[in-house]
A and B are shown apart, each in its own frame.
Chain A
Amino acid sequence: KAGVTQTPRYLIKTRGQQVTLSCSPISGHRSVSWYQQTPGQGLQFLFEYFSETQRNKGNFPGRFSGRQFSNSRSEMNVSTLELGDSALYLCASSPDRGREKLFFGSGTQLSVL
Chain B
Amino acid sequence: GQSLEQPSEVTAVEGAIVQINCTYQTSGFYGLSWYQQHDGGAPTFLSYNGLDGLEETGRFSSFLSRSDSYGYLLLQELQMKDSASYFCAVRDDNQGGKLIFGQGTELSVKP
Contacts and interface: CB of A to CB of B under 8 A. Distances in A.
Given A97-B97, A98-B91, A43 B48 contact: no
Interface in A10-62: 33, 35, 40-45, 48, 55-56, 58
B42 A90 contact: yes
Interface string B29-42: 01101010000011
B98 A100 contact: no
Chain A: interface size category = 20 to 34
A104 B48 contact: no
Contacts of B44: 104
B60 interface: no
B43 A100 contact: no
Interface residues of B, number: 25
B72 interface: no
Contacts, number: 60
B96 A56 contact: yes
B24 interface: no
A33 B55 CA distance: 21
Interface string B52-75: 000100000000000000000000
A41 B42 CA distance: 16
B19 interface: no
Contacts of A33: 99
A107 interface: yes
Interface of A: 4, 33, 35, 40-45, 48, 55-56, 58, 90, 92, 97-98, 100-107
